[in-house]
Amino acid sequence: MRILFAGGNGYYPEFHGGVQSSTHHLVEQLRNHGHEAAVLAALFGDGAFGMAARIKLKLLRQGAVMDHFPGYPVVRAWHPCEAVPFAVSRLNPDVAVVQCHKSVPLGKALEIAGVPLVVYLRNVEFHELAGDPSELKGARFIANSEFTARTYQARFGIRSTVIPPTIDPAKYRANTSRQYVTFINPYAEKGFEKAVEIARRCPEIPFLFVESWKLDGERRVEVERTLSHLENVVFEGRTDDMKTVYGRTRILLAPSKWEEAWGRVASEAHCSGIPVIGSRRGGLPEAIGEGGIVLDYDAPIEEWVSELRQLWRDESHYDRLSAAALRYAARPQMDPDYQFAVFLDVLEQAARNSAAIAA
């Protein structure tokens, strides 16, 4: 089959995040099984890559440009919904997978173009959909957690196949030096303020804070200023090789403030037997499971500090949770081959359903 992943956000190299990581892994799996895959994404136009794309847009006088930066076709446009005809004419997809930003208008444009549709529900930020997904009558739906599936069924009456975020364990598995408590993505919704307060109260424990979503301008200055007052904290920019992060991590701290649909960093950490201390928000408890400790986000800071210190100091307690994290990472639901088989079955269902409707 020919599969097109479509979303209203950016893509490598202009934007990095959990959705982009999961999409890239799915593309690689599809290609390894003899399928073709491509991506339709928003163009940001920043940096040398973005400037080259902008020049190409002007020279060709068209609404989208195509490159092969990640090793497969990526169509980029200021407004991806308007670029659907361009992408369909050049890539001729048998089925499309829309996800996150502008899922509904993208889905409608693809249905008008006659492309069978799968909607991958990856968060519960309903406003990002830009519409009601239940209006996509011919679509099949995938949710990245039981929490996400329940939330969309309650709000829109949608039934979904649950497939947790796809992860290639080899890209994250490392023999860790257990040097740091690591916090990834210093944004308020990810629990930055709580992570800072925990680090402040544990001066004897070294912490590693790592950029994930790009920090620009004043936000970067603010983060660096805040962390500069903590002698036990090291701050590093984002990296494409997360092994370098997990290879130094003893405990992953994930005190998310918002309703996480899943919690990809927890699953990544588990691949190396790294326990996670995280908040009881959204689907994050599903991601942590038996491989860590779940606390109420609003629990007293003393409770967070106490749990962290015990896990840092008590070797037998740590070893039990580390072994549990490895077991949890190896459960069938996280097996890439199993996930891919379920994913491919949903794509084939969508294609068959579209053919039946057309007939």
Encoding tokens for residue 111? 């249905």
Residue with tokens 């057309």: 358
Q: Are 353 and 138 spatial neighbours (Cβ–Cβ below 8 Å)?
A: yes
What's residue 355's pLDDT? 62
Which of the four CATH numbers 3.40.50.2000, 3.90.600.10, 3.20.20.80, 3.40.50.300 does domain 2-162 have?
3.40.50.2000
Encoding tokens for residue 248? 């130094």
What's residue 357's pLDDT? 57
Cα separation of 253 and 263, whole Å?
11
- 89-93 long-range contacts, CB within 8 A, separation 24+: 90/66, 91/2, 91/4, 91/38, 92/2, 93/2, 93/3, 93/4, 93/38
What's residue 167's pLDDT? 87
Q: Any residues with CB less than 8 A from the CB of 311 and at least 6 apart, and which?
A: 251, 275, 277, 293, 317, 318, 321
Cα separation of 138 and 120, whole Å?
14
What's residue 214's pLDDT? 86
For the domain covering 169-333, report its CATH number: 3.40.50.2000
Cα separation of 249 and 181, whole Å?
6
Do 2-162 and 169-333 fold alike per CATH?
yes
Give CA torsion, residues 146, 152, 157, 161, to 10 deg: -40
Write the burial class of residue 55 (CB in 10 Å: 0-12 exposed, 13-18 middle, 19+ buried): exposed
Element (H, E) at 234: strand 233-236
Instruction: For the chain, 359 residues long, give each residue's pLDDT as a single digit of tens.
Output: 999 999 999 999 998 888 898 899 899 999 999 999 999 999 999 899 999 999 999 998 888 999 999 999 999 999 999 999 999 999 999 999 999 999 999 999 999 999 999 999 999 999 999 999 999 988 999 999 999 999 999 999 999 999 998 888 999 999 999 999 999 999 999 999 999 999 999 999 999 999 998 898 899 999 999 999 999 999 999 998 999 999 999 999 999 999 999 999 999 999 999 999 999 999 999 999 999 999 999 999 999 999 999 999 999 999 999 999 999 999 999 999 999 999 999 999 999 876 655 55
Cα separation of 307 and 228, whole Å?
25
What's residue 72's pLDDT? 98
User: What is the SS3 assignment for 238?
Assistant: coil
What's residue 75's pLDDT? 98
What's residue 240's pLDDT? 86
- Name the residue ranges covered by the structural domains of the chain: 2-162, 169-333
Give the number of other Cβ atoms within 10 Å of residue 323's Cβ: 14
What's residue 358's pLDDT? 57
207-210 β-sheet, strand order: 233-236, 207-210, 180-184, 249-254, 276-279, 292-295
Q: Are 282 and 260 spatial neighbours (Cβ–Cβ below 8 Å)?
A: yes
